[in-house]
Amino acid sequence: MRYSTIFPKTLKMAPSGAESINHQLLARGGFIDQLMAGSWTLLPLGLRVVSKINQIIRQELNSTGAWEAQLPLLHPKEIWSRSGRWDDPAVAEIMYRLKDRSEREYCLSFTHEEIVMDLLGKYNLSYKDLPIKIYQFSTKFRNELRAKSGILRGREFLMKDLYSAHVSLEDLEVYFAQVREAYLKIFTRMDLETRVVNASGGVFTEHFTQEFQVECDAGEDMVLFCEKCDFAANVEVIKSNNCPECSGLLKEVKTVEVGHIFTLGTKYAANMNVNFTDETGNKKPLWFASYGIGVSRLLGVLVEKFHDERGIIWPESVAPFKTHLIGLDLENEEIKAQAEKVYQLLSADGVEVLYDDRVGLSAGEKFSDADLIGVPYRLVVSKRTHDQIEVKKRADKNTNFMSVTELLEQIR
């Protein structure tokens, strides 16, 4: 894609009021724009990163046998009343509610347990239809009083939510463990180290839940991490300075929750009267679980973790492009033709190229844009490179000269 055609270009200064690093760098790089507190436009570069994140999640969830779907965002009061959550003050406070022209009441998607349960209830399910595993990438709304920390906390944000329904707690637990492993794989694929913390399910459940926490100074959670093993726990739970598993020292760290998985038991099914027929012909309530990943939040966490003073350093798996081709001296027709040729050759080979084809900018301006945007491989074609390319990895200092063929061999 040609950088000359993209909107917007980079900004020299972060927007006023952008206090967090993720907001500053994502806004300056042209990844996001703040519509209002807690609400963000994904600009073309930002959407590309989110699409990469979603594709990683999709692959790992598909391999657990889950199917992708898409559920509505405007929910009738009636369905939320059936679970009892419409009248839960803690939920009511944080839900956006509205009425239509006929004075019927709705809420905006706060989460989708009720809508999935209502859907399952329409299909006269038998044990043969179970387990059911459905997920979506969707927008969630939270009527937060304050929304700070950049894109880490939103009033309107993107979430992947998965729901599973089972014949028994045992069956649920098997799948729950499978999703837990899938989550760890998902985060590892984006170079994020997460620790699993047992937590309270808040307005979702009285059962066992697990949070996936990433150490991050911009985070709003405080968690105890063991310095010797993988153990982690909520500050409230542990009284000692030592790890209960390996006796290593526990340190208190700031974290961001990037995922949360909930055992929901049979409460939703019982409240909403959603049953399946078991092998003996009896009706039984479904065992239910839900599993969330904060997708727009991940965009922010990745920037908080992977940046330097010059800009973002995207992990390759989620970078908006694999290569950032910079054409210098493009006023010279021969060099321009050479840069175009490299662009075409790489593209034809399936390599994603962001091609800075702008004429009249200095090398310094183009290099600092590339550092800010943070694509893994910076490629330069200029009057100095002849029929070669100057290659530099965003995270490295040294540059190398190589042919297109050599480059393709290296990055394939």
Cα 344 to Cα 324: distance, rounded to the nearest angstrom: 13
User: Which of 21, 43, 295, 375 contacts its own copies by CB under 8 A?
Assistant: 43
Residue 132 binds to its own copies (criterion: CB under 8 A)? yes
Residue 68 binds to its own copies (criterion: CB under 8 A)? yes
Residue 234 binds to its own copies (criterion: CB under 8 A)? no
Find the largest Cα–Cα distance for the chain: 81
**Token digits of residue 116:** 């999935």
Could you tell me how far CA 19 lies from the centroid of its own chain?
Answer: 21
CB of 28 to its own copies, least distance (A): 12
Residue placing its CB nearer to its own copies in the complex, 123 or 401: 123
Residue placing its CB nearer to its own copies in the complex, 53 or 243: 53
251 near 128, Cβ under 8 Å? Answer: no
Residue whose entry in the numeric block shows the structure tokens 């190398």: 400
- Residues 85-124, one symbol each (x = binds its own copies by CB under 8 A, - = not), give --------x--xxx-xxx-----x------x--xxx-xx-
Residue 73 binds to its own copies (criterion: CB under 8 A)? yes
Residue placing its CB nearer to its own copies in the complex, 44 or 248: 44
253 near 214, Cβ under 8 Å? Answer: no
Could you give the count of Cα atoms lying within 13 Å of 55 in the half-sphere of its Cβ? 10
CB of 108 to its own copies, least distance (A): 7
Residue 71 binds to its own copies (criterion: CB under 8 A)? yes
Q: Where are the beta strands (DSSP E) in 73-155?
A: 74-76, 97-99, 105-108, 132-141
Buried b (16+ CB within 10 A) or exposed e, 362-389: eeeebbebbbbbbbbbbbbbbeebeebb
CB of 318 to its own copies, least distance (A): 16
User: Which of 13, 16, 89, 145 contacts its own copies by CB under 8 A?
Assistant: 145
Residue 59 binds to its own copies (criterion: CB under 8 A)? no
Size of the site for its own copies (CB under 8 A): 54
User: Which of 21, 134, 370, 380 contacts its own copies by CB under 8 A?
Assistant: 134
Residue placing its CB nearer to its own copies in the complex, 212 or 321: 321
Contacts of 290 (CB under 8 A, 6+ apart): 111, 112, 113, 116, 161, 162, 163, 164, 204, 261, 262, 264
Residue placing its CB nearer to its own copies in the complex, 119 or 196: 119
The dihedral sign for the CA sequence 383, 384, 386, 391? negative
Residue 5 binds to its own copies (criterion: CB under 8 A)? yes
Residue 14 binds to its own copies (criterion: CB under 8 A)? no
**Token digits of residue 94:** 């944080």
Cα 37 to Cα 240: distance, rounded to the nearest angstrom: 39
Select the span of 64-72, 191-199, 216-224, 334-342 touching its own copies (CB under 8 A).
64-72
Residue placing its CB nearer to its own copies in the complex, 28 or 195: 28
Cα 76 to Cα 139: distance, rounded to the nearest angstrom: 17
Name the pairing type of β-strands 250-265 and 221-226: antiparallel
Q: Which of residues 156-195 bind its own copies (CB under 8 A)?
A: 156
- Binding residues for its own copies, rule: CB under 8 A, are 1, 5-9, 15, 33, 35-36, 39-44, 46-47, 50, 65, 67-76, 93, 96-98, 100-102, 108, 115, 118-120, 122-123, 129, 132-134, 139, 141, 143, 145, 155-156
